[in-house]
Amino acid sequence: MKNKFGTAAGILLFFLIVAGIVYVGLIKPETKKNVYKEIVVEGNKILPAKDYLVSTNLDNPEEYPKLTLQEIKLRILKHNYIKRVEISPEGIDKVIIRIFEKDFMAVLLAENYPYLVTQNFELIKLESNSDMSKMPVISNARLSKAEINSNYAKDSNLFRAFRIIDAAKIVSETMLNDLTGINLRFGGDIILTFSHIKCPVIFGKGLEGNKIVALYSIWEGLRKRDEPFKQSSYIDLRFNNEIFIGNTESSEIKG
């Protein structure tokens, strides 16, 4: 009888131990929630940090104590400019949001509205206070309303515009920074405009890399308005290995 009682007690004890282990594993003790009082945005280039917080409803410090890191991350990721974020606490009550914006190539004017266009041809409506000073403006693209409404535009002329931008990146940072406009002329000869250069550049179509290199060969003269560029009214790159300078007395540079 004693043996049976001992066996039953041992089995009961075993089940109690197992139940305790399962309980501890499934029901974790409640940990104290971190309370945040400040959110700081870093890494932004296109939009001011304050605007990112306002547009993602993270501008009210009274709400911060209720938010977790995951909730903060999900909110900031909803902004269309952002590709990814890294979030980390600093100290006991501050959160640092390091944002990585999408790879924007230019500002695109479509249906009389400005869009930021990424290297993947994604169209994102330009928000107020966006800094577009380092991006060229692409105009007169041949885009349908369906393409614009789909938020993606892969017109062949946009490919040409991107090749021009990429070539300028490789050849000269100064040229890239001075590039202000790419007029696609609805499929016609492309015209480029630059700051610090008073005359337009008739770029034409095709051989984008070669033409940018050719333009760079006279770049300093254009910027400084040396002879024969003082009276130039346009630069024409439509002809292979030749640069035509339009002025009162037409000039031609062969190269």
Range 161-174 average pLDDT: 93
Question: Would the pLDDT of 207 be above 50?
Answer: yes
Are the CB atoms for 123 and 108 separated by under 8 Å? Answer: yes
Q: Where are the alpha helices (DSSP H) in the chain?
A: 2-26, 49-55, 69-76, 145-149, 156-171, 173-178, 208-216, 219-224
Residue type at 175 in one-letter notation: M
What tens digit of pLDDT does each residue of 212-242 get?
999 998 888 888 876 667 777 888 898 877 8
Pick the CATH number of 104-254 from 3.40.50.2300, 3.40.50.11690, 3.60.9.10, 3.40.50.720: 3.40.50.11690
More confident residue, 252 or 105: 105
**Paired residues of 72 in beta bridges:** none
Domain with CATH 3.40.50.11690 in the chain: 104-254
In 3D, which of 109, 86, 94 has the Cα closest to residue 38? 94
Cis peptide before 200 (omega within 30 of 0): no
Q: Is the pLDDT of residue 150 over 70?
A: yes
User: What element of type H or E holds 88?
Assistant: strand 82-90
Domain with CATH 3.10.20.310 in the chain: 38-101
Cα(178)–Cα(65) distance, integer angstroms: 46
Superfamily assignment of 38-101 in CATH?
membrane protein fhac (3.10.20.310)
In contact, 235 and 243? CB cutoff 8 Å:
yes
Dist CA 120 CA 153 (whole Å): 9
Task: Identify residue 151 by its one-letter amino acid code.
Answer: N
Q: By C-alpha distance, which of 193, 199, 163 is closest to 178?
A: 193
pLDDT of residue 5: 46
Q: What is the DSSP letter of 152?
A: B
Tens digits of residue pLDDT in 16-72? 666 666 554 544 444 456 778 899 999 999 999 999 999 999 999 999 889 899 999
